[in-house]
Chains A and B, each alone.
Chain A
């Protein structure tokens, strides 16, 4: 075991079982110091379980958890220099805002006055100084959220865990808090581990994202990588909107894979490790990287018929019926260049791909 590595948290082959149910199957990941790391996945994917294991609320059935190279599994939560922002804030209702924020410092042995002084500074950082004498119940949801954040930051933890802290806020406030959290993380230099089921939130804030499902990490990478090069069906489907086509790979040549659809239409795209000739796999096509035209622009253009146009503010989404394939979606930005590519329902059109729009997926 190496001591004092640069990895804030290392999860090594962690397994969590409740009776016969396995919540987490062999998860291994490392989170660097000063990183904004997000665990992203639908409910029940094991992300919160993993977070609670790092905090110390759940023990690890197998494997280990290391904090800067030191094993912390077995330590109770109050002996780990890690703090948590809870989903529903869990502010102490009988204490003032100032005492809530000072609580951790007091427990670390600081005098009451010292704890209050530092608590005041942290409250100033989250712009809540004027509310320090209030009880949590006298604050709005957004303010309570900031108090919870201040309370967790005040003891200067080595790692801050955030368990869907923004899920109770309305959209506008949530967007503002996303930016603020990101800035706060850079300012304090504390490693943040953020749990969310909101993929947009994850992509906006994180240095790296681990996409989880069914107790496993499906893919780990930065936002761009995960969005543009999803590794499997789950990731492609969960992150953003996509079209999935069933294809058969005919041959791989110079990093390009030649494939055909069920009806025989041919397509080529970048080859992916682990998918060889003869494989029947899915291909992901992001709607915003496709465009429509009245005549085919290349041999690979797919013939389709427009079913419906949906106006969604920044974009116009077109639903199409493909000649041989399922329902298909194409997005055009709501700009003069984009709208010139929108056709009336019933029109026969061709779907064209930008380079890199298609991506082969491991099932």
Chain B
């Protein structure tokens, strides 16, 4: 009888094995066309020689990476010393994206908690409200933000009009403006995963903790936060990663001095002034960095669960 069951089992799995190839085909095609091929093209281009009017010459070169990391003096004939310009832009991008992520977390967590603790029928409405601004195009939202924040904008009119400040607050063209812009661009990506995690959270755990003499903040720190950590991590990744490569907010709100990687890459492909291999190389470096960050998160998560 056991043998019969085993035969039956294997024949079923054979049926599926045949179908599996076909069923998975759309996924593989999509992944291939939309992910693997573009990355492969970028990788190839980053090792080609630049053409001055944009485009590439099909000749292998490490020039793009050399330009990124090496300073060879004004005439390009000195030995390699570290080129800080681009590393600084990267560093500023990480810092800006990190600040935007923390800002999103600081506002997004209480928001998500608030929504998840409403009666079930109201929650859908709140989630809907959170997503409404995102029906408007990102570019328009960012430009609107600039209008709101500028020296003659409503915010400063209010601050100076009510006498809270005598001089308008210079927000546009600062790092903070960029952080605000990024924060506003990606806030729902923080709110929604945390909301999902808090909604699944068993509030009896909080009751149990306070029953066992834990004051409110301890309940939050020791019980609630560890339980919803996967949602927080997901939210942080979803805000941090696109912020890192973003160019709209830094371009429009940050001005020339607050350049980020996204803008640097964008510049390389614009008009005739660009440098395609260099843009591709910068993209590859960005991609590698993001992957490393994700791997660190994933490993920590696995350790926490292990």
A residues in contact (CB < 8 Å) with B = 55-57, 76-79, 82-84, 86, 88, 90-94, 103-104, 107-108, 151-152, 155
Contacts and interface: CB of A to CB of B under 8 A. Distances in A.
A92 B204 contact: no
A93 B214 contact: no
B107 to A, nearest CB: 26
A152 B212 CA distance: 7
A82 B210 CA distance: 11
Chain B contact residues, majority secondary structure = helix
Contact of B207 (A79, A90, A94, A151): A90
B114 to A, nearest CB: 21
Contacts of A92: 205, 208-209, 223
Contacts of B218: 107
Contact of A84 (B205, B208, B214, B304): B208
B211 interface: yes
Central interface residue in B202, B210, B215, by most chain A CB within 10 Å? B210
Contacts of B202: 88, 90
A292 B202 CA distance: 55
Contacts of B211: 55-57, 77-78, 82-84, 152
A121 B102 CA distance: 43
B223 A78 contact: no
Given A92-B223, A94-B226, A94-B227, A108 B208 contact: no
A78 B204 contact: no
Contact of A86 (B204, B215, B223): B204
A155 B209 contact: no
Interface residues of B, number: 17
Contact of A78 (B205, B210, B226, B227): B210
B204 A103 contact: no
Interface string B196-220: 0000001011011111111100100
Closest 7 CB pairs of A and B: A104-B212, A107-B213, A90-B208, A90-B204, A77-B210, A94-B226, A78-B210
A122 B207 CA distance: 22
A325 to B, nearest CB: 48
A75 to B, nearest CB: 11
Nearest to A163: B204
6 contacts: A57-B207, A84-B211, A103-B209, A103-B214, A107-B214, A152-B212
B207 A78 contact: no
B208 A78 contact: no
A164 B178 CA distance: 55
Given A77-B207, A86-B204, A88-B204, A93 B227 contact: yes
Contacts of B214: 78, 103, 107
A293 to B, nearest CB: 55
Contacts of B205: 90, 92-93
Contacts of A83: 211-212
B227 A155 contact: no
Contact of B212 (A56, A76, A94, A151): A151
A348 to B, nearest CB: 55
Nearest to B226: A94
A104 B213 contact: yes
B197 to A, nearest CB: 13
Nearest to B213: A107
Given A78-B213, A103-B214, A104-B213, A86 B227 contact: no
Contacts of A107: 209, 212-214, 218
A22 to B, nearest CB: 21
A118 B242 CA distance: 49
B198 to A, nearest CB: 15
A91 B212 CA distance: 12
Contacts of B208: 84, 86, 90-92, 151
Interface string B284-306: 00000000000000000000100
B207 to A, nearest CB: 6
A156 to B, nearest CB: 12
Contacts of A56: 211
A135 to B, nearest CB: 9
A89 B202 CA distance: 11
Contact of B213 (A86, A88, A93, A155): A155
B211 to A, nearest CB: 5
A58 B157 CA distance: 48
A252 to B, nearest CB: 51
Contacts of B204: 86, 88, 90
Contacts of B223: 92
Contacts of A108: 213
Given A83-B212, A103-B209, 19 more contacts: A55-B211, A57-B211, A77-B211, A78-B211, A79-B213, A84-B208, A86-B208, A88-B202, A90-B202, A91-B208, A92-B223, A93-B205, A93-B227, A94-B227, A103-B212, A107-B209, A107-B212, A107-B213, A155-B212
A340 B223 CA distance: 63
A266 B212 CA distance: 60
A192 B214 CA distance: 22
A76 B213 CA distance: 9
A90 B201 CA distance: 11
A55 B208 CA distance: 10
B226 to A, nearest CB: 5
A104 B218 CA distance: 12
B210 A76 contact: yes
Contacts of A77: 207, 210-211
Contacts of A93: 205, 227
Contacts of A55: 211
